Amino acid sequence: MISLPFFLSILLSMTQLVVVVMFAPLIAGFRVFMSARLTGVAAPPVLRRWYLIATQWCADSPDQNSDPLTPQTSIVASCATTAAMTTVLVVSLLVPMAASGLATAHLSDIFVITLLLMSAQIACQLPALGGQAETATTAFRRLISASVAIPVLFLIAVLFFSVGATTNLDVVLSGLRSGSPFGDDAPFVLAALALLVAGAASDCTVSDVGVTGTDRAILMLAADCSSLIWLTLAGDLFWPGSLALISEHQTVTGSVGALSVGFLLWIVRCCVLCVILAAGNLVAAGPVTRIRLRGAGALLLAFFAIQVLFGSRFPIMPYRGAVHEQSTFDDNTGGGPL
């Protein structure tokens, strides 16, 4: 007989998959909305992103004989679309969003998750690389922008391993549930900032030229999902206490209630992070500066997080001279009253 937590964890995984696909364009629309509002221009509606995807989904495929590059682009686009969407959906099954203790908890390694996300970002830009000069250069610039984050991911793995002796996300998050974000878990707040700067701030825009129709709709959806998962990862590290625990509740009602609260908190977390990102984008001046700032800022934050971790969590051994002086002092005093 299947136990209740196991059944719930399977159900949760499936729900997570659906919720990511449903909410990713909304969150992306909210982010664009906030960016526009903060810069003072007319803001597009939040549902605009969903409208674009639906329009592209229903659009006809381009005429195959109109351009010599069209058949080539369509082959590359169909392969890249499948790869990107598949990768993103698999990652959405691995990342804890509303609750920890998923059926896939033992598979959620930080290396696997983040590098799979990187693969998805590369796949999203692949069709544009086959386009014309301006499109290809822009796409390659976006790829460079995404790849500057890879060293940061390795540093965050150091942080994970130093605390939990593992790089498993679920295990590390479970260990952080009781800590305070301003106390012992401060390094992880910094790491979340680094993840936010490195991953979520990257430009996932799918280029206008080249891909149309269903492939373009799926690519846009994959880019939005990828962005949402970066936000979720950062949110998990910011506030691990917001994740519900399935095994805590013995009844179905209690578990469903906890999961609902978990999903609600996940949406709130993502919206807050969107506002932070939109406000942060105002500070950066231009695209090159933004890439450089992101790379350098994320690296510094990750290094700083490790430094804070070593300073706060592990005991500092007194240097040898101090120990010698202390022992000499004890010997002299003999432990008795002066």
Shortest approach of another protein to residue 101 CB, angstroms?
A: 17
Shortest approach of another protein to residue 91 CB, angstroms?
A: 10
Which of residues 162 and 272 has its CB atom nearest to another protein in the complex? 162
Shortest approach of another protein to residue 81 CB, angstroms?
A: 7
d(CA 249, CA 8) in angstroms, rounded, equals 11
Shortest approach of another protein to residue 82 CB, angstroms?
A: 5
Instruction: Establish if 22 lies at the interface with another protein (CB under 8 A).
Output: no
Instruction: Establish if 292 lies at the interface with another protein (CB under 8 A).
Output: yes
Within positions 138 to 157, which residues make up the interface with another protein, using CB under 8 A?
140-141, 143-145, 147-148, 150-155, 157
Shortest approach of another protein to residue 127 CB, angstroms?
A: 9
Which member of 317, 331, 336, 337 binds another protein (CB under 8 A)? 317
In angstroms, the Cα distances linking 115 to 6, 61, 103, 112, 153 are: 28, 32, 21, 5, 8
Instruction: Establish if 89 lies at the interface with another protein (CB under 8 A).
Output: yes
Which of residues 140 and 322 has its CB atom nearest to another protein in the complex? 140
Within positions 221 to 280, which residues make up the interface with another protein, using CB under 8 A?
none
Which member of 18, 22, 37, 51 binds another protein (CB under 8 A)? 51
Which member of 111, 164, 247, 304 binds another protein (CB under 8 A)? 111
Which of residues 258 and 302 has its CB atom nearest to another protein in the complex? 302
Shortest approach of another protein to residue 73 CB, angstroms?
A: 8
Instruction: Establish if 45 lies at the interface with another protein (CB under 8 A).
Output: yes
How many residues bind another protein (CB under 8 A)? The answer is: 87
Which member of 9, 35, 74, 81 binds another protein (CB under 8 A)? 81
Instruction: Establish if 164 lies at the interface with another protein (CB under 8 A).
Output: no
Contacts of 135 (CB under 8 A, 6+ apart): 128, 207, 208, 209, 210
